[in-house]
Amino acid sequence: MGALTLWQYIRDFGTGRLARLCFIDQSPKLLTDSTWSHGIYGDFDDSRSREMVSWLEDDFAEGVLKLTAFGLNARAREKYLSGASGWEKSRQALRTLNPGPLIDCWTSLTAADYRDVLAQINVPSMLVYGGESNFYGEGTARFVANQIPNAVLHIYEGTDHSPHQWQRERFARDLMAFIDQTC
């Protein structure tokens, strides 16, 4: 959710105090509709979002895991269905959280639309997307890259919504090269 927070900051305050930016696997508008297909899964409309909220209210941890597992990444779905230990660790961690404020956050984020903010970004920007993102297809990455002037786009093949975690060394190299290049 860091990208969404940053886009809100840019909407509110501009880029005057920012030198360079890095966005990781995010769409500027989460919900899809008849005019926007670059949100979650490419087909996650208001009706699906309301269903998601009901999942979160019933069992917050499982709702979050379902959102991640039943998206575009088949490997994530297989691991979830097989009860892999990483999913169980995430489930336990999510169960320690107070769901109320997080559900409110989800509702706020799904109401947001930052597409207009992208063209306002006038500082060097690096975009990193997972080639097997749970949430977004390559079209989302290309849309964001085309809207931010002079953005540098990296698609990390074989990674999900967290490409910077799956390919840490590559991400560190790419980020340092981006920072060095723009100094």
pLDDT attached to residue 22: 97
Please check whether residue 34 lies inside any domain of the structure.
Answer: no
Range of the domain at 179: 1-29+113-183
CATH number of the domain that residue 148 is part of = 3.40.50.1820
Please check whether residue 37 lies inside any domain of the structure.
Answer: no
pTM, two decimals, is 0.92
* Statement to judge: residues 57 and 75 lie in one domain: yes
102 within 8 A of 60, measured Cβ to Cβ: yes
Q: How many Å apart are CA 146 and CA 57, to the nearest integer?
A: 37
- Signed CA dihedral, 139, 140, 143, 148: sign only: negative
Q: How many domains does the chain have?
A: 2
pLDDT attached to residue 182: 58
Per-residue pLDDT of the chain (183 residues), as tens digits, is: 789 999 999 999 999 999 999 999 999 999 999 999 999 999 999 999 999 999 999 999 999 999 999 999 999 999 999 999 999 999 999 999 999 999 999 999 999 999 999 999 999 999 999 999 999 999 999 999 999 999 999 999 999 999 999 999 999 999 999 999 855
The H or E element spanning position 126 is strand 125-130
Task: Select from 81, 111, 141 the last residue of a domain.
Answer: 111
Q: How many Å apart are CA 109 and CA 128, to the nearest integer?
A: 20
